[in-house]
Structure formats: structure tokens, C-alpha cells
Amino acid sequence: MKLLIDAGNTRIKWALVNGEDWLCSGILPAAQAAKLSRHIAGHLAPRYLRRPRTGLHDIQQIWVSNVAGEEIAQHIRNIGAGKSGQPHFVVAREAQCGVRNGYSNTSQLGSDRWAALIAAWHLVQGKCLTVNSGTATTIDTLSERGEFLGGLILPGVDLMQRSLVAATVQLKSTQGEYVPFPLNSADALYSGAIQASCGAIERQYTLLNDASAPVVLSGGAAGLLQPYLNQKLFSVPPRVVDNLVLQGLLLMAQEANA
């Protein structure tokens, strides 16, 4: 069995996979990373897996995308202190799983972006826009030959709002709603973050200059952004795909073990 871990700045997402079967998965706030081993072990109980003797000792490999720093990396290493050995912390390569990396410094491309691109290529097998929206929103482009052409990084929906509240004396942190023409500050903050995110996706899609290319959305805010995208731009509606980074990690693991 393989344990896949997507460690982001806000959340740690994980899945336990046996072959092609996704046995169980979970999400833990990054601030609670010290509880990661116990959190995963709790999900390996028989009521979740219907496998009465499954435990952390049954994990043979751990594959990780970590963009959250060394402290969280150490908590992940603690899981692999037994039979599974040291986790595989992935780093972007020049080429992997059919995708070629066009970044000026190959290894500086975030491991989460690299894994998401690999998963998107596996799904689409063609030109596409890959959007991963969490703490940050990344908008990356693949060519019809699986070449990473480049991408954008901007603050995620929540981070945009928190940054403005932190830097502006008169704004307060209250949850707003999306409205086209906001008439209060909370709605203005929330709607502005949605519009900025969707505008960046739509502009990048326009620059792609191919109305037939699909858009793959993932991350915690994917479902939030999808309804507000201008559907008239796309010949195929933008598609929300859960756990794109984890899917990419599994593809990397499968290629390494082939």
C-alpha cells in the first residue's frame, strides 16, 4: 500500500492507495501536523477500511508533495519510521510521466504544481489550463505535447481577503457574499477576491487562444470559483477534479515502480 500526502500551507490532504484502489483519505489542518500519524492511524480502523489488521505498518511507500516547510516534513518523516522507510519527497524534474518542465529553474517549480500538471496531463492528454486554488491560486498551462508552458501564482480567495484586512485599518474580517455590485465592505472583499481569481483564469485562458482546451480546477476553492467563471468562454465547462495533487503523486509512484 502507498500513502500519498499533499502538504500545503493551510491543509494536509492524504490518501491510502492499494494498487488502483483508493482505500481512504482525509484532511488535517497544517497547524495540527504533529497529530498526523495519529490522525491517519485513526482512519485505518476496521470501520473505515473493512480490513481488520491494516495499520501504519502496512504502508510500504509514502509519496509526498510538501510546500509547507521543514517542520511539517519532519512530522511526515515520523510516519515512515517503520516498515515504509523514508518518504519520497517529490521535486519537479525536467520530464516525468509524459510531462516536460519548461521552468527556467526546473526544481523551483513547486512540487504541488508539478504533481497537478502530471495528473491533468493524464486526464486530458492534450492542451489544457490547470488551476489549483488553495492558500495560493496557481494557473498553469500544458501544450498539446505535454510541455509545461508556464503559469501564474496569485493569492487564493481567503488570502486576498485576509491580506487586505491585515493591511487596512478600517476593514474588518467578516464573511461576505458574492454580489455583482457590492454595497458593503464584507461583500466587496469577498466579491473582489472571486472576481480577481476568475479574471486571472479567464485572461490566461484567452491567452491560450484555443477554445477547445479544457480547464481543470482543483483545490479547496475550486468549487467556489467554478460557478462564477464566464461559461461563454469555454467550449467545455471547467471541470472540478478532487485531489489532483494526490493523483499526480500516485502516477509518479507508479512510474517509479514500473
Q: Phi/psi of residue 67, each to 5°? A: -115, 15
* Bridge partner list, 65: 6
Give the SS3 label for residue 62: strand
Sign of CA dihedral 250, 130, 239, 31: positive
CB 86 within 8 Å of CB 80: yes
Contact 91, 65 (CB under 8 A): no
Q: Which helix (H) or strand (E) holds 208?
A: helix 185-208
Count CA atoms closer than 13 A to 147's CA, side-chain side.
Answer: 5
Report how far residue 58's alpha carbon sits from residue 252's, in angstroms, rounded to the nearest whole number.
20
Residue 210 appears among annotated catalytic residues: no
Cβ contact 174:188 at 8 Å: no
Cα–Cα dist 59/61, whole Å: 6
Catalytically annotated residue among 58, 112, 140, 210: 112
How many alpha carbons fall within 13 Å on the CB side of residue 86? 5
**Helices 244-257 and 111-124, packing angle to 10 deg:** 80
Catalytic residues, by residue number, are 112
